[in-house]
Structure 1
Amino acid sequence: MFRKTFVFSSLALIATTIAVSPIMAEQDPHLWLEEVDSDQALEWAEKQNKESLSFLESQPLFEPIQEEALAILTSDDRIAYPSLMGGEIYNFWRDNTHVRGIWRTTSRESYRSDDPDWDIILDVDALAEEEEENWVWAGSSCRYPDYDRCMVGLSRGGADAAVRREFDLEKRAFVEDGFVLPEAKSSVSWRDRDSVFVGTDFGEGSLTDSGYPRQVRLWERGTPVEEAELVFEGEASDVSVNGVRFWDSDTPYDMIIRSIGFFTRHYYLFEDGETHRIDIPEDASLAGVLNGQLLVELKSDWEKDDRQFAQGALLVADMAGVRAGEADFQLLYQPDMQEALSGVTTTENRVLVSVLDNVIGRLVSFRQTEDGWESEVLGAPDMGTLSVVTTDDKSDGFFYNYTGFLTPSTLYQADAASDEHVSVRSEPEQFDSSGLTVSQHEVESADGTRVPYFVIHPEEMDDEKGMPTLLNAYGGFEVPRTPFYSGVMGKAWLERGGVYVLANIRGGGEFGPRWHQAALKENRQHAFDDFIAVGRDLVDRGITTPEQLGIQGGSNGGLLVGAAFTQAPELFNAVVCQVPLLDMQRYHKLLAGASWMAEYGNPDVDEEWAYIREYSPYHNVHEGEDYPKVFFTTSTRDDRVHPAHARKMVARMKEQGHDVLYYENIEGGHGGAANLEQRAHLSGLIYTYLHYRLNSEKEAG
């Protein structure tokens, strides 16, 4: 059973001290806003907050939207999504009573009942009160196959950096003198009950330039972490290095993963104190191992032993050959041009492949026979988004979620061997969707590429007047945006007469690696062109007008909307720019930014800065331009995308005489909110702003 996912994430980075040269200080008068917790910077942020909150919170729609959002976010009708471990169901849950959340467990039989008998393992609210810390749950990693001990993550204020503590599942208590790591962006993986692979900040030279662990050490129980044995060390220029143990049923494999770039990595088997690199392309990803067969997903074409494998393919090879350096890879699945692999998981005997077919999900099951591999498309619901929630390592059972823009989430229990599907939980409708419909359109981008997008709108529309419309996209890091159900968005926006649009622009993963790579580095403008093209098509179709068109994006999506409103300010009347990247000359010097140069390029290289400079929002906002009144949001505790991006953009725009709104949550991490109350408050602010800007400003007060 494959028990570890080898997908590098930007969820970890050690906060770095910013060095400011005299030259840069002359070029950028707002560098002082990069000092996250300085008194001057926080006073500035509080001043902006006061101005924006006094305006937005005074609008008539703010209070009802916030209250509705909180009711939806804390509703007992939400699905308690399961995590299967050792035959039991585990779940982390937040509600009005447990704002920070509880970690709990129940049996499979009890979970299938209408009122499961939950056993609380850890109450984060009680722990935070007891320890007088602003703890936010940061996940857990439990030891396979016994699931007796877990490493629990606790974050202060929602930052990516977290404290890691060993927890005894049987005693429901932290282990005295157990494995404990202080706050850092660490990597910890169980090897056996008394040892773990660990990567953390061991001092000078132990971190990469991106701030991730550079070393993998083997830490034995009862010894100081500083004395853990060094087993592998990457280069300072790497993104990160970490060690893991994964399992194929009862067979363990130890592995070192060296991420030399955000999308490139070397995989090494670690056996008898030696490392042996697995012979696959640098941009390929290990997707799992099942019954002695290694699964590999390709991101580019590969010629291996006179055989040609195409980009996006899922390959399989016998593990014995892999270990001997003589892997014989075979093709398991090849997506066509309208398809993409969106996930690979395993049960006891099956490989489950989640496929996007023109951005609509389906599930395919593979099993190995004496004659090779056989596949079948599972009978899951169609015309929506399908995502595997959790799988079982002792059977072919699994849970998956089905949802759509107007279809609340339904959790299914299924069996890959029998293709049985049983609805276990369904969320109720959280907004009135009567009279609404979903349509899918395409538009030709600037270079002729056809770009699809979804529109959620009333069945009857006045194409002469248009309607208030919110356009959203992401367009980066091979992340696909698929149909989803949002009670908060539906209640706050759709039910109040708004149209919602989701664009599947290049840079994302909707059509596999090719769609992502089409907007990398010097081609980044393609993503912005696609987004702007969708906006113009909405106007051309009569769905909306520039006065009624708003855009929203966060993180890389914040960069997207930042580029869009600076390049086509006449097209939009509202911009929600959340936890954004905006200063693309210094993004690689701020927090996790160095790890993203494979996506955007290196601004320190003249020829790469030349194309980055063309779209960097911070460098393309000008005095005298007529921009919409942008609403920027960020978080002081975001230690992934630096809050200075939003801070400096606001400072520059105000200096140029532009009218903007700004809200900085003093905690909340990259998600912008540390708990459900903060999420509801932020939703109230955002949708109040959108109604104020797009409903002729009179309906929102």
Structure 2
Amino acid sequence: MTPMPYPPARRDDQAEELHGIRVPDPYRWLEDPDDPATKEWLDAQQSLFTATLDTRPAFRDRIAELLRSGSVGVPVWRGKRSFFMRRTPDQEHSVLYTVDPDGTERVLIDPMALDPSGLTTLDSWQPDKEGRLLAYQISVGGDEESNVYVLDIGSGDRIDGPIDRCRYSPIAWLPGGEAFYYVRRLPASAVPAGEDQYHRRVFLHQVGAPSDEDVEIFGHGMEKTNYYGVGVSRDGRWLTISASRGTAPRNDLWMADLAASRPESPALVTVQEGVDAQTSLHFGRDGRLYVFTDRDAPRGRVCVTDPQRPGHEHWRDLIPEDPEAVLSDYAILDELGSPVMLVGWTRHAISEITVHDLATGAKTGDVPTPGLGTIGGIIERPEGGHEAWFSYTDNTTPPTIQRYDARTGQTTLWASSPGAVEVPAVKTEQVVYTSADGTEVHMLVISRPDTTGPRPTILYGYGGFGISMTPGYSASILTWVEAGGVYAIAQLRGGGEQGEEWHRAGMLAGKPRVYEDLHAAAEHLIATGVTTSATLGISGGSNGGLLVGAALTQRPDLYAAVVCSAPLLDMIRYERFGLGATWNVEYGSADVVEEFAWLWSYSPYHHVREGVSYPATLFSVFASDTRVHPMHAWKMCAALQHAQADPARPILLRNETEVGHGARAVSKSVDLAADQLSFLAQHTGLREG
């Protein structure tokens, strides 16, 4: 076949020696998005992508139709108001609503009203304890920078803000709505060059006062990559502050009695410091301190103690660790003759809720749920009660909100996603396969019930940061399966499906196990007749992009096509870009001899070899991505285009502007998903769609 007309990309003799090893980097010039040569190359890549992709309009139409289900979020109560998110069939973004004391429902924040272009996203929101004020955070163009504003809920007027540099900031209101704690980065002028994404601090803000007058509460002199959590108990008495180095699966934890010290100078008491565990606190209305922790319990447990004695030596198990299920959430219902705790679990990534006596922890029943799916956010009223709300979804069910009444023991539908859509019939099987080292791994396999034999298949995985792959409504999955394909989701090590030990088995030195788990999943699908290597595609994004990037360089013979989205691929230099330095607790650092060896053993960019027949590969990246710099995909794309031996398997780059790593308008999500499915269909042989 005629070779693909790839845009020319200069290969430099760029290299550096690290720990005695020569590390080549021929495309380092592509790290600079402002270089005219980079811009010219990106423009040419976009033209090639547009000319080469066999776009299937039926995919775009069906994905858009299935997304007309809309969505609905779990309600939150403050004072006499409730708050919730909802997206109707024709909306680009979810909208924040409130229900006033008289029952009137009205819009509080509509991102499209703020910005009709659709580029503004609502990142998070938090009403004050009385339900009178709302702190909310917005970003523009996908940059996730989060400016904080304050809204008067009654009038709808914006009364404070913007407060900038608040990416990933919690908001913890003090009673009365006059002040809140939050987390903010120091200004770039106050930190070393190149470190403006780090150096967070906890501040106290007085509503209406200039933010440069905010009092710094915590964080001075601590690790630059620390993330901080901050919370104030429902009665306003107790302050908690947590700190974790980057995304490390452990945190330090402090608390202060605000009745005994001033909010601007809280007398913090250490709950946990220098301990390899994650712990959080909840102050009950019964005066007990509830401790949610994986300390000495990798699958999680709930302990109780006295707030005056918060140390580990005083903890007593209330809900002990389950050897087979992961404890994910809990809520307390105390307006009952015998108060109860609802406990959320995931068992092989399938959710369930149990009921326990609050005093003893003894199990007294189960909460009925709609099916074998995913439950999120068990919410009760802050002033106590007998009701709880939670979200539910599965592979064919758009998000719904369920209400549980502890007085009757019944679960009823509280709210559905607002759009009516016809969802195709699919069959979901949970299979178990064996990885290279003998470990059993679970996988969900979704297909049309009337199809058998080898079919074009997408294998999806993530395998990192303790994130679980659970069932959920997906327009992309349903569209692919309806067209006759199979969609498999592997619950790889590195995720959280089996608790923290499962996560740690796939991080740092154990990262290669994640790739072995993916290869074993592919081999299982082939061995059981689901697909063949000629009809098997793999897909992953972010850490999952690293996964499929490593997979295509390790086993190019096993896969026909790859979609690699917003990936990490240069694992020697990843810490220098975006939020990379916050992830060295997950991957390791190239500055450390031993950890460099881990990274060097699999870094996808450095394992591209000339003359190899690589799978057809589509890189999809986003110019405003401030988490994972698109340079990873740019460099890897250039390297693969140079090395590819099979002209029938193109290496393409989809470089999208004005969007970032996370939230985006629905229409942009539709376009991206349709292009990705079209590419995979083209190179796995899926004929419908």
Same fold per superposition (TM over 0.5)? yes
Q: Which has the higher mean CA deviation after the structures are superposed, 403-412 or 598-607?
A: 403-412
Which of 631, 636, 653 aligns to 1:644? It is: 631
The answer to whether the 8 Å contact 1:360/1:382 transfers is no
CA distance in 2, matches of 1:264, 1:277: 15
Contact preservation (8 Å) 1:209, 1:239: no
User: Match of 1:320, SS?
Assistant: coil
Q: What's the counterpart of residue 67 of structure 1?
A: 61
The answer to whether structure 1 residue 499 and structure 2 residue 486 are counterparts is yes
Q: Distance in 2 between matches of 1:346 and 1:47?
A: 58
SS in 2 for 1:562: helix
Given that 2:330 and 2:378 are in contact with CA atoms closer than 8 Å, whether structure 1 keeps it comes out as no
Decide which of 634, 659, 662 is 2:653's aligned counterpart. 662
Cα distance, 1:181 vs structure 2 = 0.9
How far residue 693 of structure 1 moved from its aligned partner, in angstroms, is 0.9
Which residue, out of 371, 395, 410, partners 1:420? Answer: 410
> Hey, what's the Cα distance between the residues in 1 that align with 2:404 and 2:578?
42
Q: Deviations over 1:454-491 (max 9, x none)?
A: 2122445543xx1111111111111111122223321x
Q: Structure 2: which amino acid aligns with 1:219? A: H
Distance in 2 separating the partners of 1:36 and 1:148 = 45
The answer to whether the Cα contact below 8 Å between 1:368 and 1:374 also exists between their aligned partners in 2 is no
Distance 2:635 2:314 in 1: 53
CA drift at 1:217? 2.5
Q: Distance in 2 between matches of 1:613 and 1:346?
A: 48
Partners of 2:98 and 2:413 lie apart in 1 by: 20
What amino acid maps onto 1:295 in structure 2? Y
Shift of the 507–326 alpha-carbon distance from structure 1 to 2, 3 Å rule, reads closer
Give the aligned residue type for 1:46: D
SS at match of 1:226: helix
Contact 1:478 1:508 (8 Å CA) reproduced: yes
2:283 maps to a residue whose letter is: V
Alignment partner for residue 233 of structure 1, among 213, 219, 226?
A: 219
Contact preservation (8 Å) 2:71, 2:94: no
Residues 303 and 319, structure 2, Cα contact 8 Å, conserved in 1? no
Name the structure 1 match of 2:11.
none
Contact kept, 8 Å, 2:375 with 2:391, in 1: the verdict is: yes
**Which residue of the other structure, out of 180, 185, 188, is the alignment partner of 1:196?**
180
What SS does the corresponding residue of 2:548 show, helix, strand or coil? Answer: helix
TM-score (norm 1): 0.85
Deviation at 1:83, TM superposition (A): 2.2
From 39, 44, 48, give the equivalent of 2:45: 48
SS in 2 for 1:494: helix
Range 450-459 or range 192-201, more displaced: 192-201
Q: 2:297 matched to 1:278? A: no
User: Do the aligned partners of residues 400 and 239 (structure 1) sit closer, same or farther apart at CA in structure 2, a change above 3 Å counting?
Assistant: same
Query: Match of 1:78?
Result: 70
Q: In the alignment, residue 38 of structure 2 is paired with which amino acid?
A: A
Task: Give the counterpart of 1:260 among 245, 253, 259.
Answer: 245
Residue matched to 2:5: none
- 1:561-618: per-residue Cα shift (whole Å, max 9, x none)? 1111111111111111111111111111211111111111111111111121111111
Deviations along 1:291-332, whole A, 9 cap, x unmatched? 33333343352xxxxxxxx43341322233335x58621112
- Structure 2 counterparts to residues 577-588 of structure 1, below 5 A: 577-588=564-575
Find 2:150's aligned residue among 156, 166, 180. 166
2:665 aligned partner:
675
Task: Go from structure 1 to structure 2 and tell me whether the alpha carbon gap of 1:691 and 1:133 turns closer, same or farther (over 3 Å shift).
Answer: closer
Q: Which runs of 5+ in 2 are unaligned?
A: 1-13
- What one-letter code is carried by the residue in structure 2 that aligns with 1:296? V
Kindly provide the amino acid, as one letter, of the partner of residue 230 in structure 1: E
Asked if 2 retains the 8 angstrom alpha-carbon contact of 1:79 and 1:425, the reply is no
Number of aligned positions between the proteins: 647
Find the counterpart in structure 2 of residue 307 from structure 1. none
| 1:401 pairs with one of 377, 391, 406 | 391
Matching residue's letter, 2:204: L
CA contact (8 A) 2:613 2:644 kept: no
Q: Are 1:432 and 1:495, in contact at CA under 8 Å, matched by a contact in 2?
A: no
Equivalent position of 1:295 in the other structure: 290
Q: Does 1:242 align with 2:228?
A: yes
Give the Cα–Cα distance (whole angstroms) in 1 for the partners of residues 307 and 452 of structure 2. 65
CA contact (8 A) 2:318 2:361 kept: no
Query: Normalised by the size of structure 2, how large is the TM-score?
Result: 0.86
The answer as to whether partners of 2:344 and 2:351 remain within 8 angstroms in 1 is yes
Q: Cα distance, 1:653 vs. partner?
A: 1.4
Aligned 1:267-346 pairs, distance under 5 A:
267-271=253-257, 272=261, 273=265, 274-279=267-272, 281-286=275-280, 288-291=282-285, 292-301=287-296, 310-322=297-309, 325=311, 328-346=314-332
1:215 alignment partner, one of 191, 201, 207:
201
Contact 2:434 2:520 in 1 (8 A): yes
User: Structure 1 residue 339: deviation in Å?
Assistant: 1.4
1:29 maps onto 2:26 in alignment: yes
1:137-152 equivalences in 2 (<5 Å)? 137-144=122-129, 146-152=130-136
Residue in 2 that maps onto 1:479: 467
The within-5 A match list for 1:351-390 is 351-369=341-359, 375-388=364-377, 390=379
Q: Quick check: 447-456 or 85-94, which moved more?
A: 85-94
Q: Identity over aligned residues, as a percent?
A: 27
Distance 2:667 2:443 in 1: 32
Q: CA RMSD in A?
A: 2.9
User: Contact 2:119–2:664 at 8 Å: present in 1 too?
Assistant: no
2:4 is matched with none
Q: Given that residues 293 and 316 in structure 1 are in contact (C-alpha distance below 8 angstroms), is that contact kept between their aligned partners in structure 2?
A: no
**Equivalent residues in 2 for 1:508-547 (5 A)?**
508-547=495-534
CA shift digits 1:410-436 (9 cap, x unpaired): 4311124542211234458845534x4
Change (3 A) 1:222 1:619: same
Native 8 Å contact 2:165 2:185 kept in 1: no
8 Å CA contact 1:243–1:254 kept in 2: the answer is: no
